[in-house]
Amino acid sequence: MTVTYAASSESTPQPRFRPTVIIHGGAGNIVRSRIPPELYERYRASLLKYLHSTVTLLNGEQEEGDGTKKKITPYSAIDAAVHAVSLLEDDELYNCGRGSVFTLTGTHEMEASVMVCSLLPETQGCEDVKRALIKRGAGVMMLKNVRHPVQLAREVLLRNDVEGHRGNGESMHSHLCGPYVESLAKEWGLESKPDEWFFTQKRWDEHMKGLGKGASIDHDTLPKPGEDISKYLSQGTVGCVCLDQWGNIAAATSTGGLTNKLPGRIGDTPTLGTGYWAEAWDVPSSSTRRALGLSCTGNGDSFVRVAAAHSAASLLKLGAKDSLADAITAIAGPGGELQRSAGPRWGVTGEGSGGIIGIEAEVPHDAEERQSEEPIKGKAVFDFNRGGMLRAWTEEDADGVLRERMMAFRDEYYS
């Protein structure tokens, strides 16, 4: 399903930034022996397809059924990120939306979030970003029948109550859960599906196999004591971070949670500062403004305990790290804060396992310095602390050409 939101053309300024996108499809104990070539190719094809679709919309084009493209108003970062995650939510390969795992009692409880920041808040380029910056971020949780939880998170983010009307579900709440927010989804025109829509045999088999073994990071149950943990494929939450043409960065994230989690368990995905973050700030020691967006995946309970997303952002903002890549590695890389948080249980219980994707960018304060023929560029970054992380992103090659890439491990799958 394609989200049809787009930036308002009435206030669209000239583009200043080169759109950048990064998507993840889960991280954990992913090893080659658990991903045969045919499965890897399915992941590769889907992630690159969704990446390309998102980049195309950010650039103000839309692909028709015959392969041609038509010009449209470029998507904002919010709408592009929601578009990408909506596609993932309809893909049974991933633990979100239709492919969500089951709780201990055989039900679904889905979660999602959206957050935004702007390098140039005075000229965001579209009305939705202007509204979104009031709350900054929003999470929804314990959803059972909303087809696209990430679209509901977007609506909660945009529907503020700054004027005190309290009509049509508007509020200043950042976290909403359960039946009432599902009723708001229907009121706001979002699509709902019956329980059968979210049933997949693969997830049900995982649920039945894992009963009595506790919650697992997601696709497969954890091994019994003494079993080789490398046999188990773990993937999880999906997410997307986008930088649009006007300097807005948005992070959208969605998950079905842990396989066989206790009903009512809330993870990092909808929780501000733990599974997602977006922030922009003026750098006191220079004449620049910096911004970042983050989306996390892995063992959500561990991400909550270390406030993973906000911790990574703070390392950069407070000057402890010089780049977002270094900040992410300090939290989610090998030997990082997440791994240390598991203590002696690392590699045994699934605690601490995961990864983070992000985008960083900066812009000079001086308006004249921003008037360049070359667009300002963002940088997509990532790291993870176990076997792999499914991700696809855009990056510039040595010739200045923007390439679309996909990887599952630290080296190429076919190396």
Strands 354-364, 288-298: pairing kind: antiparallel
Cα–Cα distance for residue pair 107/390, rounded to 1 Å: 26
Helix (H, G, I), strand (E, B) or coil at 207: helix
Which tokens is 19 given?
Answer: 């759109």
Q: Which of 258, 33, 247, 244 is nearest to 123 (CA)?
A: 247
**What are the φ and ψ backbone dihedral angles of 209, each rounded to 5 degrees?**
-65, -35
Residue 185: CA atoms inside 13 Å, Cβ hemisphere, count? 25
CA dihedral (225, 207, 40, 391) positive or negative: negative
User: Binding site for substrate, residues?
Assistant: 265-268, 297-300
Burial class (CB in 10 A: 0-12, 13-18, 19+), 222: buried
Which tokens is 326 given?
Answer: 């270094």
CA Rg, the chain, in Å? 20
Report yes or no: 230 and 29 within 8 Å, Cβ to Cβ.
yes
Helices and strands, counts by H and E, the chain: 11, 16
Cα–Cα distance for residue pair 26/354, rounded to 1 Å: 8
Q: Which of 408, 345, 356, 354 is nearest to 386 (CA)?
A: 354
Helix (H, G, I), strand (E, B) or coil at 75: coil
Annotation says 237 is catalytic: yes
Range 33-42, long-range pairs (CB < 8 A, 24+ positions): 33/230, 33/231, 34/231, 34/232, 34/233, 35/233, 35/408, 35/413, 37/413, 40/408, 40/413, 42/93
Report yes or no: 254 and 295 within 8 Å, Cβ to Cβ.
no
Cα–Cα distance for residue pair 30/392, rounded to 1 Å: 16
Strands (E), 6-90: 17-18, 20-28, 61-63, 69-71
Q: Catalytic: which of 54, 56, 221, 237?
A: 237
Catalytic site positions: 237
